[in-house]
Amino acid sequence: MARSGKIPRVVIAATASGAGKTTATVALIGAMRARGLKVAAFKCGPDYLDPTYHERAAGVRSHNLDGWMMDREAVIATFTRASAGADVAVIEGMMGLFDSATPTGDEGSTAQIAKWLGAPVILVIDASGIARTIAAVAAGFARFDPAVAVAGMICNRVGSRGHLDLLRAARPEIPVVGGFPASSDLAFPERHLGLLMADESTVPQRSIDGWSRLAADWLDLDAIVEIARSAPALEAGRVSSASKIDLAARPQARIGIAYDAAFHFYYEDNLNRLRALGAQLVNFSPIRDRELPESDGLYFGGGYPEVFARELSSNGSMLAAIGAFAARGGVIYAECGGLMYLTDAIRTLDGAVWPMAAIVPGVAVMSDRLQAIGYVEVETNADSILGPAQTRFRGHQFRYSTLEGAENGNRFDTIYNVAPRWGRAPFAEGYRVGNVLASYVHAHWASNPAVAEALIRSCIRSRVSRQPAA
């Protein structure tokens, strides 16, 4: 077991999206576990789906580390807390190693996280159809930013062991620590948001185990572990009170978390912040359950409500219970897929219209094209369950639906001023109906820990106000 501050760690990065980072990460984690190592898993960036693959391989929850939505202190605090007691930490990057929120800097990039954590990098490269060119690729990545220690390469989609030997013989500046052959029978399934959630119904255990066996056979695990152990002691420095999370806090409020195949996009850091502030989190399924759990507030994350629109719409008792909870003044916070569920209806790509909770007016209309993507910064223009007016926090959008017909309703206020990080003008959003607040923005509360505190206080106030008079 690693000592605090000296956790062996490695970042699995890539030359570009699609090179095979997730596959390599899952395979490496599985092979390390097979050696008896306890592995902590992390994902750079805002992605919700890749961490579910990490969890299947590691047997523990994976945590997001995002340089734009979280500051350095929050990243280090989250990493330190989640890797406590582990033998090694494996951190999957996002996009290409140096791709970021800006075209000229490393803000929000995998490289930034590697520098903040002092973590060496192993680069995954799609090696199909190349030979000596690997030396040129390695030279560029080795020299582009000397502050990023690129210590090894994994060559994905090699044609044979002879091909892998040829790549090593090119003597690239970054040593080749192994590779993977193309293996279509083990490939993970995909949907429009990327990979499917890695539950056992979509990703059989044989796929996870198969990649782990390939890693044990094709990677130089000893070299990779030594690279991870070369990471220096992590200087946590000053951790602000906003970043301190005490998971042993006494529960003060109960929050129902919508969690099933339709709703499962949550940042573990957000949930931990609620727990630290005294919230008891109780999962429930809008698909299967007929009643709400006893709760002071409800939290609907993102997911795929359009895929399960029939099941959600047919569960009339759950829809009625949520409507009654809102009518009584109960606190409800919803993001993206959660917003879709709270609207009048969801219209799927086949034109079918499925009635939903009818709390937020309008119809969530699915498109076959991406409707919004990227980081955003939110500032509220009125008091809400997330705090006073002018509360600010950061998040991101990634959606294939739009809310239509909301402008014809008069049951809500729009209280978000949303400023996209890149390429679009600010716009109004954030639909408030009493103690209900719903938005397409996936928020990360490390950008403003006061938001989680305000939500807890709102739940407690709501519980008190809904109690019958003595």
CATH number, residue 193: 3.40.50.300
Q: What is the pLDDT of residues 62-74, one digit of tens each?
A: 999 999 999 999 9
* Final residue before a domain boundary, out of 175, 200, 229: 229
Binned at pLDDT 50, 70 and 90, residue 391 comes out as very high
Binned at pLDDT 50, 70 and 90, residue 250 comes out as low
Binned at pLDDT 50, 70 and 90, residue 88 comes out as very high
Residue 214 lies in a domain: yes
Binned at pLDDT 50, 70 and 90, residue 466 comes out as low
- Whole-number Cα distances in Å, 348 to 22, 288, 306, 365: 30, 21, 6, 6
Same domain, 256 and 225: no
Kindly report the average pLDDT of the chain as a whole number.
90
**Dihedrals φ, ψ of 444, to 5°?**
-115, 115
Q: What is the pLDDT of residue 104?
A: 87
Same domain, 207 and 282: no
Residue 102 lies in a domain: yes
Same domain, 15 and 88: yes
Residue 295 lies in a domain: yes
Q: What's CA 219's distance to the chain center, in Å?
A: 27
> How many Å apart are CA 57 and CA 208, to the nearest integer?
7
Binned at pLDDT 50, 70 and 90, residue 143 comes out as very high
Same domain, 198 and 262: no
Residue 126 lies in a domain: yes
Residue 13 pLDDT > 70: yes
What is the pLDDT averaged over residues 86-93? 98
Same domain, 283 and 355: yes
Residue 3 lies in a domain: no
Q: Which of 9, 12, 5 lies closest to 80, judged by CA?
A: 5
> How many Å apart are CA 35 and CA 187, to the nearest integer?
24
Same domain, 209 and 278: no
Same domain, 406 and 265: yes
Same domain, 197 and 59: yes
Kindly provide the b/e burial profile for residues 367-387, where b requires at least 16 CB atoms within 10 angstroms of the residue's own CB. Answer: eeeeebeebbbbbbeeebbbb
CATH classification of the domain holding 348: 3.40.50.880
Q: What is the pLDDT of residue 469?
A: 47
Same domain, 212 and 264: no
> pTM value?
0.89
Q: What is the pLDDT of residues 439-450, one digit of tens each?
A: 999 999 999 999
Residue 267 lies in a domain: yes
What is the CB neighbour count within 10 angstroms for residue 200? 9
Same domain, 225 and 254: no
* Final residue before a domain boundary, out of 174, 195, 229: 229
In DSSP notation, 155-171 reads EEEES-HHHHHHHHHT-
Tokens of 253: 């409020």
Q: What is the pLDDT of residues 278-324, one digit of tens each?
A: 999 999 999 999 999 999 999 999 999 999 999 999 999 999 999 99
Residue 244 pLDDT > 70: no
- List, in order, residues 6 or more apart from 221 with CB less than 8 Å away: 28, 31, 32, 35, 215
Q: Identify the burial level of 429 via C-beta atoms within 10 angstroms of its C-beta, where 0-12 means exposed, 13-18 middle and 19 or more buried.
A: buried
Domain span holding position 71? 9-229
- Note if 44 is an active site residue: no
Residue 207 lies in a domain: yes
Residue 213 pLDDT > 80: yes
> How many Å apart are CA 120 and CA 461, to the nearest integer?
47
Residue 418 lies in a domain: yes
Binned at pLDDT 50, 70 and 90, residue 422 comes out as confident
Q: What is the pLDDT of residue 199?
A: 60
Q: Is residue 335 within 8 Å of 443, Cβ to Cβ?
A: yes
* Final residue before a domain boundary, out of 229, 261, 285: 229
Q: Which residue has the tokens 């193309």?
A: 182
For residue 81, give the amino acid letter. Answer: R
Residue 242 pLDDT > 60: no
Same domain, 189 and 277: no
Residue 2 pLDDT > 90: no
How many domains, in total, are found in the chain? Answer: 2
Same domain, 106 and 21: yes
What is the pLDDT averaged over residues 137-143? 97
